[in-house]
Amino acid sequence: MKRRVEDLAVFGGAPLFAPALPTGQLDTPDVEDYIGHLRHIYRSRRLSNGGELVQQLEAALAEFHQVRHCIAVANAALGIAMLLQVLGEGRSGEVIMSALAYRGVPHLAKWAGFSPHFVDIDPELHTLDPQAVRAAISDATRCILSLPSFFSPGHVDDLCRVAESRNIPIFFDSVDSVACTFRGRPTGGFGDAEVFSLHATKLVNGFEGGYITTNDSELAAILVRQRDFNQPGADPGVAMRTPHVLGLNGKLNELHAAMALLSLARVEGLIERNKARYDAYCAELADIPGITVLPYPDQGRERHNFRMVVIRVDPEWPLTRDETVALLNKEGAVVRAYYSPPVHRLHPWSVEVVTPPMPAAERISKGHLHLPAGERVSLSNIHELAGLLEFVSARGDDIARSMRGARL
Amino acid sequence: MKRRVEDLAVFGGAPLFAPALPTGQLDTPDVEDYIGHLRHIYRSRRLSNGGELVQQLEAALAEFHQVRHCIAVANAALGIAMLLQVLGEGRSGEVIMSALAYRGVPHLAKWAGFSPHFVDIDPELHTLDPQAVRAAISDATRCILSLPSFFSPGHVDDLCRVAESRNIPIFFDSVDSVACTFRGRPTGGFGDAEVFSLHATKLVNGFEGGYITTNDSELAAILVRQRDFNQPGADPGVAMRTPHVLGLNGKLNELHAAMALLSLARVEGLIERNKARYDAYCAELADIPGITVLPYPDQGRERHNFRMVVIRVDPEWPLTRDETVALLNKEGAVVRAYYSPPVHRLHPWSVEVVTPPMPAAERISKGHLHLPAGERVSLSNIHELAGLLEFVSARGDDIARSMRGARL
């Protein structure tokens, strides 16, 4: 425990956590189970390209999400680029997307031949504001890319209605929504498609990888060809009917499918442990003034994966959000600012893309941070972290003065 | 052995090879060695994102190719798209490339924002004809993408001279040129960069993956950022200086680096065994009229990897190239037509891209095929396959008549 301000790592004290506490899920199924799969891959002599385990994984994920088709891809970013390119039909134009998004997303729009068109969010759900989307639609709009927040799929029905009425494709970057519901329906089947991630930091761990879910059989067939350089397969006429589709190597390897299958089988346990960590944070931080754990709403009616723990830093808190991030990182809590800055503030979009004011995205991006979460964080780690935050709260004026002084 | 025409699998006989013989290298290092790496990955808790093994692999490959920088990427296709996008500076225009190329390559040009401009090949080397390149250059040219053939890096010096004199970037899609030389210099350091593959079918097996080599430190730094969503790292000003660079997830995972490290250590043995197979094919097929094994030229002065065995089918041979492919595939020899059709004949390029006549690419693409090769092909397999081809040669008229009759 820290007793004096000088004990803080930011002032040269020993870090509270070593090894550091990450924010990712980092599920690790038993290594022996993984080795079993690996021996099978070796024996089967099928090291890549649509092997047996990828097919098993696709079937398991389609069932898990209750959708007709699952297309495994090398990573979620490629899945997003693929969907944008296919759904936008290879024509230049705009993709409507949230200003509160991962910094890579507008790059993917450009790869697919589009300009990003950023719109503001609903400040309650942190997801696309349907009113703002409606106002942003023009003849240049080729696609709507909706980004669910970690605690809500957003205004799914409203957005799909807007998209349908204007005959614009819509899909969901659902990397944080595995095993969640909207009005009781599981994610995976909304809009034209949804994209999920199998990166090690996500709920289901394939070491790396991603997948697309859809109920549209024609779209699924196009994506299967697209991820393998748009090979026509047994249908040589297909390239004529879909001349705009650009192929690439988006295939998921057997090594990742093996891990993802093991992790998927553990998903109920992962969610249970996530919930226990989240509940512990809520209890431990409840009485600390100026920080608030963002709630997972409607827990009676909706299903959540409780993967992330995000806190809001309010004016009563003695440090700024960025000072808090810096202080905690020094202590070995690898906390991260939450969607900051908003993507429309990043170069080159801040220069290339004209945007209206986005007060909600600006505000949310300034005041939140991710706390350590996932399988490498124990309940006693959470207790220790809460103790640290209590200490910061109690000695806040001294700490703020020293941190600001140190920077002068 | 086949004694009667009816014994051929194409007419219902039992296939000669079961399991089938592939054309890929398919190196399989000892599974226990791979498992050792895997346990280390688990223990190190670093499952992805620039881990220790990726760093080791990059250092080993830079040394192997005698270049300053190696940037591991998720696959070679992404590496090509990345280089096109960076070197073309995000401006629309054209990429000059060979009409004799893998069908995916023009797609990658489009992803990067360019149109492919196809040019004809040198019929001896199967690589870009410098004269044709010179004629194709215009104000719209943004990049030259040179594709070495499996037996020659091509007119490296000429092409680099053309590119330099016109101030156009040039790089090499060197997926088939690992461990080869041009005028005694190893591949890896030519042009602005070279791209290699770690796919299971290539010389060095990472199950999947690829890498870029370059001596240009600024380009290397850009690519390292680009493959990780263009994160600025410790240099926030970098996005300002390179506003055109589009990021993506192009990272290679530790699982692939582990395999590639093991396979790279075996590369001398792989090449020796490839050479033995190639020599066996040359000896066994020498007296069969109408088929010719393409030679690896200048073996005294240049280094080759002998990974592929390609034959030319001449008019004395009783079957067409495509009939030969069909017959051998039925026998379990998974042979493949060599670059056929040429890419400018494929939809949508045949419609979208105006090209001059390309007699050399047309001719080469009609008359060649890959024979089974790599670690899963034994010398006795080669002997059996030669016996089959002798039988086809001896009974060619009957076989041709039956195959053509069967199709009527």
> Which residues between 123 and 152 in chain A have a beta carbon less than 8 angstroms from any beta carbon of chain B?
none
- Residue A184: phi and psi, rounded to 5, are 80, -10
Percent of chain A with pLDDT over 70: 99
Cα dist from B360 to B156, B293, B350, B363, whole Å: 19, 19, 17, 5
* d(C-alpha A166, C-alpha B280), whole Å: 65
Higher pLDDT, A407 or B357: B357
Q: For residue A81, what are the contacts with CB-CB under 8 A and spacing of at least 6? A: A108, A111, A112, B111, B248
- pLDDT of amino acid B208: 96
Q: Indicate the residue of A48, A111, A348 with minimum beta-carbon distance to B248.
A: A111
Percent of chain A with pLDDT over 90: 90
The CATH code of domain A31-264 reads 3.40.640.10
* Confidence band of B90 (pLDDT split at 50, 70, 90): confident
The model's pLDDT over B149-176, given as tens digits with 9 standing for 90+, comes to 999 999 999 999 999 999 999 999 999 9
Residue B32, pLDDT above cutoff 70: yes
CB contact under 8 A, B75 and A249: yes
- pLDDT of amino acid A408: 53
The model's pLDDT over A343-399, given as tens digits with 9 standing for 90+, comes to 999 989 999 998 889 999 999 999 999 999 999 999 999 999 999 999 999 999 999
What number is the average pLDDT over the span B292-297? 98
DSSP SS3 for A13:
coil
Q: Indicate the residue of A34, A248, A256 with minimum beta-carbon distance to B108.
A: A248
* Confidence band of A120 (pLDDT split at 50, 70, 90): very high
- pLDDT of amino acid B43: 87
Residue B408, pLDDT above cutoff 60: no
Element (H, E) at B65: helix B52-65
The second-level CATH assignment, the architecture, of A5-26+267-407 is: Alpha-Beta Complex (3.90)
- pLDDT of amino acid B14: 97
* d(C-alpha A311, C-alpha A313), whole Å: 6
Q: Which residues in chain A touch residue B242, judged by CB atoms under 8 angstroms apart?
A: none
Q: Which residues in chain A touch residue B249, judged by CB atoms under 8 angstroms apart?
A: 75-78, 104
The CATH code of domain B5-10+266-407 reads 3.90.1150.10
Least confident of A88-92, A317-321, B92-96, B340-344: A88-92
Amino acid, res. B161: R
CB A13 within 8 A of CB A327: no
- pLDDT of amino acid B234: 74
Interface contact B329, partner A, CB < 8 A: no
- Candidates B255, B351, B353, partner chain A, best to mutate (most A CBs within 10 A): B255
Q: For residue A222, what are the contacts with CB-CB under 8 A and spacing of at least 6? A: A86, A242, A245
* d(C-alpha B160, C-alpha B153), whole Å: 12
- pLDDT of amino acid B354: 87
Interface contact A350, partner B, CB < 8 A: no
Kindly report the CA angle at B226 between B221 and B231, in degrees rounded to 5? 90
- pLDDT of amino acid B10: 96
| A53-85: burial string, b at 16+ Cβ within 10 Å, e else | bbeebbebbbebbebebbbbbbbbbbbbbbbbb
- pLDDT of amino acid A407: 59
Residue B128, pLDDT above cutoff 60: yes
Element (H, E) at B268: helix B267-285
Residue spans per domain, chain A: 5-26+267-407, 31-264
- pLDDT of amino acid A177: 96
